[in-house]
């Protein structure tokens, strides 16, 4: 039987050398590092998007038009919590901009554009945006309605459209710097919000703010201005269990 022997102390383990400078300079290594970086950035962006969007729920909200879903209201409330934009005004805008024959307009259904937001090249690459499309639209010019063809933003979903409105669209200086909109955020005031939107040029309709206020009156939307997402979800749960 062979007895195991201790390795002589003079034994030298084989050595390997690696030219790290050559490795780093290799174009294939640089490409691999770039691809891994892009994947990590994409994963982080996806995680961030999930954290800022509510769960999908197409169930109608009692007391509101049937096309207003629970996910729309919840996302409006979430944006109110994160950006300060009063939820009552957000929902009123959806109803005014997207309603057609008792349901959603084709722009809202096909492109998830709930606010009639026009296209701008700066929107390209934003996580909520899927592209752009052209639609016929009516604009008020010197007191008369004129039909034109214009470019509109296409969104991935309804909730992403609502998120984009607060996160990007309303951060433009003419909105963010408007005194009425700043007061609306500070006071949780949908009336000041819609007045600020008209003053800042959201729509060409000279009666835009008045129409939004009438919708808020009809559906008691101002109650959402001080409601939290959790309070709304709790209210829906109680309704379902009743």
**DSSP assignment string, 40-108:** HHHHHHHHHHHHTSPPP--PBPTTS-TT-BHHHHHHHHHHHHHH---HHHHHHHHHHHHEETTEE-HHH
d(CA 189, CA 10): 84
Interatomic CA distance for residues 20 and 33, integer angstroms: 15
Q: Cα(188)–Cα(21) distance, rounded to whole angstroms?
A: 59
Q: What is the pLDDT of residues 157-173, one digit of tens each?
A: 999 999 999 999 999 99
CB 152 within 8 A of CB 117: yes
Q: Which is more confidently placed, 69 or 140?
A: 69
Is the separation of the CB atoms in 216 and 222 below 8 Å?
yes
Cα distance between residue 84 and residue 87, in whole Å: 9
pLDDT tens digits, 182-239: 999 999 999 999 999 999 999 999 999 999 999 999 999 999 999 999 999 999 999 9
d(CA 181, CA 53): 23
Q: Collect all residues with Cβ–Cβ distance below 8 Å to 57 and sequence separation of at least 6.
A: 69, 70, 71, 74
What count of residues does the chain have?
242
pLDDT tens string 105-160: 999 999 999 999 999 999 999 999 999 999 777 666 667 666 778 999 999 999 99
Does the pLDDT value for residue 45 go beyond 50? no
């Amino acid at each position: 039987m062979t007895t195991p022997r201790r390795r002589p102390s003079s034994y030298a383990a084989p050595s390997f050398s690696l030219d790290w400078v050559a490795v780093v300079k290799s174009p294939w290594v640089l490409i691999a590092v770039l691809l891994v970086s892009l994947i990590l950035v994409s994963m982080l962006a996806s995680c961030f998007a999930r954290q800022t969007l509510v769960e999908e729920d197409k169930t109608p909200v009692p007391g509101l038009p049937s096309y207003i879903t629970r996910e729309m209201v919840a996302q409006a409330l979430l944006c109110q919590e994160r950006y300060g934009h009063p939820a009552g005004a957000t929902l009123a805008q959806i109803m005014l901009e997207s309603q057609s024959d008792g349901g959603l307009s084709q722009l809202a259904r096909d492109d998830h554009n709930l606010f009639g937001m026009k296209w701008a090249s700066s929107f390209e690459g934003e996580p909520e945006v899927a592209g752009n499309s052209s639609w016929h639209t009516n604009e008020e010019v010197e007191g008369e309605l004129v039909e034109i063809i214009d470019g509109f933003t296409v969104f991935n979903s309804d909730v992403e459209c609502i998120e984009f409105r607060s996160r990007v669209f309303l951060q433009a200086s003419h909105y963010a710097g408007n005194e009425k909109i700043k007061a609306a955020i500070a006071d949780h005031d949908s009336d000041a919000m819609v007045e600020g939107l008209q003053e800042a040029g959201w729509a060409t309709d000279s009666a835009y703010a008045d129409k939004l206020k009438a919708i808020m009156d009809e559906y008691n939307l101002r109650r959402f201005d001080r409601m939290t997402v959790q309070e709304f979800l709790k209210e829906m749960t109680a309704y379902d269990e009743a």
